[in-house]
Amino acid sequence: MNLCDKCRGKGYLVVGEKPCPNCNGSGETESISLGAASDKDMLALIERGSTKCTVCHGTGKIPVTESCPACAGLGREYLCVVCATKLSSKKELCERCAKKPLVHILDQACDGKDLVVGDIYQGKVSGLANFGAFVDLSDGVRGLAHNKYLKNRPEVGETIFVTLRNILPNGNLELEPAELKEYNTVEVEKDLPISKAAELQKLVGKSIMIKGEIIQVKQTGGPTIFTVADDSGLVFCAAFERAGVRAYADIDSDMMVRVIGEVTLRNNQVQIEIKSMKRLSCGDASAVKDQIEQAIDKRAEPSNPVFLVQSEIMERLRPAMLAVAKEIRRAILKSQPIVVRHHADADGITAAVAIETAIMPLIKEAGGPDAEYHNYRRAPSKAPFYELEDVTKDLTYALEDSTRHGQKMPLIVLMDNGSTEEDVPAMRQAQVYGLEMLVVDHHHPHKIVDQYLIAHVNPAHQGGDFGLTTGMLATEIARMIYPDCESKIKHFPAVSAVGDRSEAPEAGLYIKLVEDKYRREDLKKIALALDYEAFWLRFNEGRGLINDILCLGRLDRHQKIVELLCEQANAAIDEQLRASMGNVKSTTLPNGIIMNVLDVENFAHKFTFPPPGKTSGEVHDRLCQKYAGKPVVTIGYGPDFAVLRSRAVKMNIPQMVKELMEEIPNGGVSGGGHLVVGSIKFVGGMRKDVLAKLAEKIAACGVDEVPIKT
């Protein structure tokens, strides 16, 4: 029964004050009871000749009270157990319901301690003997209706009403059948204090009651396992109907329930053997839900550390970064699966693995040692945006897990993608199924994506650019999520900086931060090894391999695998450049830009490393060395795409794409990326027109006075 909102259960309200009659308002008294006096009181009496009044505690005033009108002095709301009518006294039944006999139906968790002699109970005949009938009042409560009380001999399985005549000293129940025509029923629930999931380790072997939310329902070959969360944590609850048969089929994920059972240990993990589980009604469910949400919200608050390096842009981004960290922590605490989607290059991989390193200990802590296999997945994206192919896979896995294991729909964390207009089709599809998404990215953002996101971090939102890499941002967010991960991921921003060729001030600071362990050459090798391995992994996360490359495991194996992969990658690059460099066509545009074009479809090896984008980048690096001090643009094109790389040229590739879409409406143009590095897609038949128009736009671009060093 709910406490009165006005008096909070006291039954009275304080309406004023009056002088204390014990001390006449002075707050002190000159006499005390020696038997009840403390040493402090005795000392005060000796020194001052008086002591604090024990009635008003020295204030000289006592409150004036009156009965609470909202609850009529009852302190709480009393409802009829049958019809839920509000009562004016501390009774069980209203006057109307009291006119009919009350039949008590025992909850399955009840035992003999919950019985009251004289009450009427509903039972089922479980056996017959020469001296009477055995009647089960619940699974654990059985009594005997002796022949002397039986007017008619019942049948096994028959439901009957019985009056509890007596509870014998040995615990046996003496029952007498009751013939009722009209009656009311009330369910008797086991009266236990509410326990917390976090405290159950101390209560092994005892019967307890918890209230919480069903997070997941998993059917095994034996029992049904319900994962229940309260405001202190999670606990697994097992119910057995028959082998492989779903217990409590009416209970499903997201429902608020009351569970009564015995606390046991299974594989050194706390588990509740369910005796009774019921869905909470609206009021109780809301109260428990609010309590859980408030506790999770408090526990989800991230750390707010000083950044590893000084950065004005990141300081401005701090609120958004904290918001991302909090949403990820909330998902973990609610056992919501997390899918980390990232671009399959050095920057995207370092960003994703930084978050992965931070959340893994928390996932295991919240959901047990096996939780990482059910509640986390990392998946690379070949394109620098969230493709329809990506969202289709994510939805397929999510819906399958929801159907088979009762899991919630996952939180999608997009790293090094998710900010551009190209992400929108996939995001719209995800929105249909209620997928929550957040983005950490440094590609030039489009405001349209924010309507699909619960949080978004992008340096462009605070006056920055792509030089502040996703790996840098994600590493700082990972420290907010789980500060203890810092020592493992401290070098990730430097790897991402050299991998993305960042010229931002933060890049130099992050590289200097780890120079005692990693030379710039070492960082370049790690970045190249990541790019090379990502090409062969394709859509697989390759956690073990990636961890070794990033030095998250054995140092000797890290050094060997990085050296080997770099040797293979450099050999493949050299082979590709031998085939390609001689086929590059260079032109000096009127604005002084050296424009280089390469047909990577016909003059580069296919289906091998480096792919067209990487090939264009490597060609561009060689040409920048050749044309030192001059603005350079390199275009690697195929039948229906073009990859752009530039130095010292004031381009805006997303804007160029938008203009090409309008100027060549039948060109099927799409694409984007950073302002000066990106890619464009088009239909093959319009390639000549698109490339010609693209060249015109490059010829109209301004040039930086001081060339960017590569």
Q: Please tell me which residue, 94 or 615, carries the higher pLDDT value.
A: 615
- What is the chain's alpha carbon radius of gyration, rounded to the nearest angstrom? 36
Quote the tokens at residue 504. 């931002």
The pLDDT assigned to 10 comes to 75
Q: Which of 159-173, 180-194, 519-533 has the highest mean pLDDT?
A: 519-533
Same fold, 313-559 and 584-703: no
Residue 665 has pLDDT above 60, yes or no: yes
User: Is the Cα torsion angle 283, 285, 289, 291 positive or negative in sign?
Assistant: positive
Give residue for tokens 């394709």.
538
Cβ atoms of 211 and 197 within 8 Å: the answer is no
- Give the model's confidence band at 38: pLDDT under 50 very low, under 70 low, under 90 confident, else very high: low
Instruction: Report the Cα–Cα distance between both ends of the chain, in Å, rounded.
Output: 72
**For 71-85, what is the mean pLDDT?**
70
HSE (side-chain half, CA atoms, 13 Å) at 26: 10
**For 647-665, what is the mean pLDDT?**
91
pLDDT in tens, 437-477: 999 999 989 999 999 999 999 999 999 989 999 999 999 99
Backbone angles phi, psi at 690, to 5 degrees: -65, -45
Closest CA to 500 of 480, 530, 539: 530
Topology of domain 97-188, CATH: OB fold (Dihydrolipoamide Acetyltransferase, E2P) (2.40.50)
- Show the DSSP H helices in 278-311 as ranges: 282-299
CATH class of the domain comprising 197-299: mainly beta
Strand partners, 127: 134
CB atoms within 10 A of CB 49: 9
- Give the model's confidence band at 47: pLDDT under 50 very low, under 70 low, under 90 confident, else very high: low
Q: What's the rounded Cα separation, in Å, for the pair 550 and 568? A: 18
Cβ atoms of 511 and 335 within 8 Å: the answer is no
Residue 207 has pLDDT above 80, yes or no: yes
Q: Give the whole-number percent of the chain exceeding pLDDT 90.
A: 60
pLDDT in tens, 496-516: 999 998 989 999 999 999 999
Q: What SS3 class is residue 260?
A: strand
Residue 82 has pLDDT above 80, yes or no: no
pLDDT in tens, 597-643: 999 999 999 989 999 989 999 999 999 999 988 999 999 999 999 99
**For 64-83, what is the mean pLDDT?**
73
What CATH number has the domain spanning 584-703?
3.10.310.40
Residue 36 has pLDDT above 70, yes or no: no
Q: What's the rounded Cα separation, in Å, for the pair 369 and 242? A: 27
- Give the model's confidence band at 74: pLDDT under 50 very low, under 70 low, under 90 confident, else very high: low
User: Is the Cα torsion angle 380, 381, 385, 389 positive or negative in sign?
Assistant: negative
Q: What's the rounded Cα separation, in Å, for the pair 288 and 217? A: 19
Backbone angles phi, psi at 175, to 5 degrees: -115, 150
Please name the residues in contact with 270: beta carbons below 8 A apart, sequence gap of 6 or more.
200, 201, 204, 235, 236, 263, 264
**For 209-221, what is the mean pLDDT?**
89
Residue 84 has pLDDT above 80, yes or no: no
pLDDT in tens, 401-436: 888 777 889 999 999 999 998 899 999 999 999 999
Topology of domain 313-559, CATH: inorganic pyrophosphatase (n-terminal core) (3.90.1640)
Residue 88 has pLDDT above 70, yes or no: no
pLDDT in tens, 333-389: 988 999 999 999 999 999 999 999 999 999 988 877 778 888 899 999 988 889 999
Tabulate helix, strand, coil % of the chain (nearest 5): 40, 25, 35
The pLDDT assigned to 42 comes to 53
Q: What's the rounded Cα separation, in Å, for the pair 237 and 373? A: 19
Q: How far is CA 276 from CA 55, 247, 260, 292, 504, in A?
A: 48, 11, 5, 21, 61
Please name the residues in contact with 331: beta carbons below 8 A apart, sequence gap of 6 or more.
337, 338, 411
Cβ atoms of 695 and 709 within 8 Å: the answer is no
Least confident interval from 78-92, 161-175, 637-651: 78-92
Residue 708 has pLDDT above 50, yes or no: no
The pLDDT assigned to 22 comes to 81
Domain boundaries, given as residue ranges, for the chain: 12-67, 97-188, 197-299, 313-559, 584-703
Q: What's the rounded Cα separation, in Å, for the pair 662 and 670? A: 11
**For 58-80, what is the mean pLDDT?**
76
The pLDDT assigned to 707 comes to 44
- Give the model's confidence band at 706: pLDDT under 50 very low, under 70 low, under 90 confident, else very high: very low
User: Is the Cα torsion angle 21, 27, 28, 34 positive or negative in sign?
Assistant: positive
Backbone angles phi, psi at 527, to 5 degrees: -65, -45
The pLDDT assigned to 710 comes to 41
